[in-house]
Amino acid sequence: MNESYKGKFAAVLPAGGIGKRMGGTIPKQLMELKGKPVYFYSLMTFLAMEEIAEVVLVVPADWKDYFEGQIYGSGKNNLDVSKLKIVTGGAERWQSVRNGVEALSSSAEYVLVHDVARPLISKEIIENVCKTLIEKGSCLVAKPAIDTIKVAADGKVQQTLDRKKIWMAQTPQAAAISLLKKLYQRIDSEPLNFTPTDEASILEFFGEQVYIVQGNTMNDKLTTPEDFEAFSVRLAAK
């Protein structure tokens, strides 16, 4: 760890959503992957890093007691919860992240937003995000497209994009806490004409430069039931 990074960063981990593509009766982030709930993996990673001064887990209101029971109730989860806070989310993902950012109370300068449905995030990627924040500014993790990308409508191809310019967005996505709070206040007075799907789209909308930190397949999102088998294999390899 770069000693100058210690305590400069906070993490907001959105753990909301129902995961309709996954099916089942509980949110996908609560489903078990190799004996642990999906969200435990990234939560453990961020809590263990000295760079991270504070972690806010943002959960669905109806499931808050369930999360708290899992994290605080068992005494068997080996989590250091001294820097953890659990808050409830909003109607949209970006509003849930905002709730998490607004709940930060440490002296951290920067926040990394990471989806818990990406359980195999590495410390190396997190450290690269921290370094990019310090040296360049706002950033997101992404991986280069390997397939040819088509734009289509009504079942017909309209355009082929240059895949050398295409990056598949991942998380963490990160910025200065003060910057995100300022942009949230601007949204209050200048409502967006679209629903942001990530933090980078908000930063882009307001003209902020967003740098890329290269990700990898291990940091893919767990979305469908078939993903559980693939992620179990990756976890064993990790």
CA–CA gap between residue 180 and residue 139 (Å, rounded): 12
Mean pLDDT confidence for 44-50: 95
Fold for domain 3-237?
Spore Coat Polysaccharide Biosynthesis Protein SpsA; Chain A (3.90.550)
Q: Give the model's pLDDT for residue 24.
A: 56
In tens, the pLDDT along 153-188 reads 999 999 999 999 999 999 999 999 999 999 999 999
What pTM was computed for the model? 0.93
Q: Give the model's pLDDT for residue 192.
A: 92
Domain boundaries, the chain: 3-237
DSSP state at residue 69 = I
CA–CA gap between residue 141 and residue 109 (Å, rounded): 19
Opening angle at CA 73, ends 60 and 92, nearest 5: 10
Q: Are 215 and 143 in contact (CB under 8 A)?
A: yes
Those residues with Cβ within 8 angstroms of residue 86's Cβ, 6 or more apart along the chain or in another chain: 56, 57, 58, 59, 64, 67, 68, 71
Those residues with Cβ within 8 angstroms of residue 83's Cβ, 6 or more apart along the chain or in another chain: 47, 52, 53, 54, 55, 106
